């Protein structure tokens, strides 16, 4: 899994259910039938009261074992995944974003960090690994190397607003190799460091009642991008999603007025009339 570019968290989440399967059944996976695995999953869910999302992660781990390690794709297909409605989580309003940015007053690093998350929609793990050499300042492009989901590279643009924020940050903080350094100045900031920094900003902004974490800015970027007229296919590229179905989840949170858009019939007849 590490060779395929899976994140350390995914490796743990996929390996743990395989371990539990062997402990519970007292057998190696090769000796088990699909019914044995389904019975184990049912009993595990009943015993620990896990929800469909947690159960689905366990099923994905077991399916990966049979499909990729044991070369038994037919077996994996016999294990059903629970139906679940995926929820995006907190979407920040513009007023809440401005309150968070105001709470960064006096800290160019915190402001640059939040602006980068919101302006690009990158994952916090990707943010923590950004080097200054990943920025093409002449063309305003950022290269995300080995994205945290699937290890794919992608290039995303950044505009004048983020450019100005980062310029101020560079002049005042003078970071070294990494875009955001840890306190020791030589290592990149960790995801936990970003989370700790954000908690302080959220508290100062008086938004502790909201469930705000670094990934909230990715969700907010996606919804605001679509609300501002962005293209769904382009959003898929910007977010680095392998499947459009993942990006499509954001559509349920979009509120774009269609009143000012003429119907296809109107547009066609206008063309016919040469107008």
pLDDT score, position 77: 57
Count of CB atoms within 10 A of residue 68's CB? 14
pLDDT score, position 81: 67
pLDDT score, position 74: 78
Q: Is 204 a catalytic residue?
A: no
Distance separating alpha carbons of residues 183 and 261, to the nearest angstrom = 51
C-alpha dihedral (133, 141, 251, 124), degrees to nearest 10: 10
Q: Look up residue 261 and give its DSSP letter.
A: S
Active-site residue, from 149, 154, 210, 213: 149
Active-site residue, from 67, 204, 210, 215: 215
Here the contacts of 37-45 (C-beta below 8 Å, separation 24 or greater) are 37/62, 37/79, 38/78, 38/79, 38/80, 41/79, 44/20
Active-site residue, from 58, 63, 110, 218: 218
- Strands 135-136 and 154-157, sheet pairing: unpaired
Is the pTM for the entire model greater than 0.85?
no
Active-site residue, from 58, 123, 125, 224: 123
Ordered structural domains, the chain, with CATH: 8-76 (no CATH), 94-253 (1.10.443.10)
Q: Is 149 a catalytic residue?
A: yes
Q: How far is Cα of residue 272 from the mean position of the Cα atoms in its chain?
A: 45
Q: Is 140 a catalytic residue?
A: no
Active-site residue, from 58, 158, 241, 250: 241
* CB distance 144 to 121 below 8 Å: no
Q: Is 241 a catalytic residue?
A: yes
Q: Is 253 a catalytic residue?
A: yes
Alpha helices in 103-190 (DSSP H): 108-120, 124-128, 160-173
Identify the residue whose tokens are 């508290």.
203
Q: Is 171 a catalytic residue?
A: no
SS3 (DSSP) at 120: helix
Q: pLDDT digit of tens for each residue in the chain (275 aa)?
A: 877 778 888 889 999 999 999 999 999 999 888 888 988 888 888 888 887 778 888 998 999 999 889 988 777 656 666 666 667 789 999 999 999 999 999 999 999 999 999 999 999 999 999 999 999 989 999 999 865 555 678 999 999 999 999 999 999 999 989 999 998 778 999 999 999 999 999 999 999 999 999 999 999 999 999 999 899 999 999 999 988 988 998 998 888 665 666 777 777 788 888 76
Q: Rg (Cα) of the chain, in Å, rounded?
A: 23
């Amino acid at each position: 899994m590490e060779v395929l570019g899976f994140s350390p968290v995914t490796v743990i989440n996929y390996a743990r259910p395989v371990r539990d399967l062997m402990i519970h059944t007292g057998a190696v996976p090769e000796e088990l039938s699909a019914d044995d695995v389904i019975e184990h999953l049912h009993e595990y869910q009943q015993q620990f009261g896990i929800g469909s999302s947690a159960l689905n992660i366990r099923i994905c781990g077991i399916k990966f074992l049979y499909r990729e390690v044991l070369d038994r794709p037919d077996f994996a297909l016999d294990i059903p995944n629970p139906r679940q409605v995926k929820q995006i989580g907190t979407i920040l309003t513009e007023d809440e974003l401005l309150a968070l940015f105001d709470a960064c007053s006096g800290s160019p690093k915190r402001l640059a960090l939040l602006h980068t998350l919101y302006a690009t929609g990158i994952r916090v793990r990707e943010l923590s690994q950004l080097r200054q050499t990943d920025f093409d300042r002449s063309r305003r492009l950022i290269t995300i190397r080995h994205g945290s989901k699937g290890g794919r590279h992608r290039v995303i643009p950044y505009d004048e607003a983020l450019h100005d924020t980062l310029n101020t940050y560079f002049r005042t903080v003078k970071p070294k190799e990494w875009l955001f350094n840890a306190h020791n100045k030589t290592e990149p900031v960790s995801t936990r460091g970003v989370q700790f920094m954000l908690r302080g900003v959220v508290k100062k902004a008086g938004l502790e009642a909201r469930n705000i974490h670094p990934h909230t800015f990715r969700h907010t970027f996606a919804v605001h991008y679509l609300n501002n007229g962005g293209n769904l296919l382009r959003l898929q590229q910007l977010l680095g999603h392998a499947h459009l179905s993942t990006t499509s989840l954001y559509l349920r949170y979009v509120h774009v007025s269609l009143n000012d858009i003429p119907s296809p019939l109107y547009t066609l007849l206008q063309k016919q009339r040469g107008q």
